[in-house]
């Protein structure tokens, strides 16, 4: 086989593999029964709405007026590396975070709950079983950025 054809086949194969890593947007993404979707049994998801310790993360407790906090949250999430906001409203945000090497896509969701004084959060991998703690780290790094801006505690 000649070099240009080999290179073209390699690029096409890598493109297909990368596209497969992205997966399709899962059905469990989104607000479910006034809360965030439940995590699957696999350890590649964390949620402030989860009751089990393996998946549980604390919600973001508001330290400023809800509208101000939400505006800051939207800006901070939009600035996260390799992350794209795909849906946002006055009380919900859905972003997709893509890993640099293999292009795996994780879903990050936040729900503003002003009457409770908090923002619920969920981060989950679309594919695979484990995530080596990536989703939990993402949530805690987001929490630290929001604490630094004074909108949550």
User: How confident is the chain (153 residues) per 10-residue block, as mean pLDDT?
Assistant: 54 41 56 82 96 97 98 98 96 95 93 97 93 96 98 97
Q: Which of 110, 104, 106, 131 is nearest to 122 (CA)?
A: 110
> DSSP strand E in 33-140: where?
35-36, 45-47, 60-61, 83-88, 92-98, 105-113, 118-125
What does pTM read for this prediction? 0.80
Return the CATH architecture of domain 24-148.
2-Layer Sandwich (3.30)
């Amino acid at each position: 086989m000649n070099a240009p054809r080999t290179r073209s086949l390699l690029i096409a194969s890598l493109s297909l593999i990368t596209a497969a890593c992205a997966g399709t947007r899962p059905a469990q993404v989104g607000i479910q029964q006034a809360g965030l979707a439940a995590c699957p049994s696999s350890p590649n998801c964390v949620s402030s709405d989860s009751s089990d310790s393996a998946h549980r993360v604390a919600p973001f407790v508001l330290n400023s007026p809800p509208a101000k906090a939400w505006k800051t949250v939207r800006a901070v999430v939009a600035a996260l590396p390799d992350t794209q906001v795909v849906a946002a409203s006055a009380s919900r945000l859905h972003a997709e975070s893509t890993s640099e090497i293999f292009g795996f896509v994780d879903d990050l969701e936040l729900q503003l709950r002003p009457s409770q004084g908090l923002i619920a959060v969920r981060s989950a991998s679309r594919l695979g079983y484990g995530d080596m703690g990536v989703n939990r780290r993402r949530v805690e790094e987001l929490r630290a950025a929001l604490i630094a801006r004074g909108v949550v505690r």
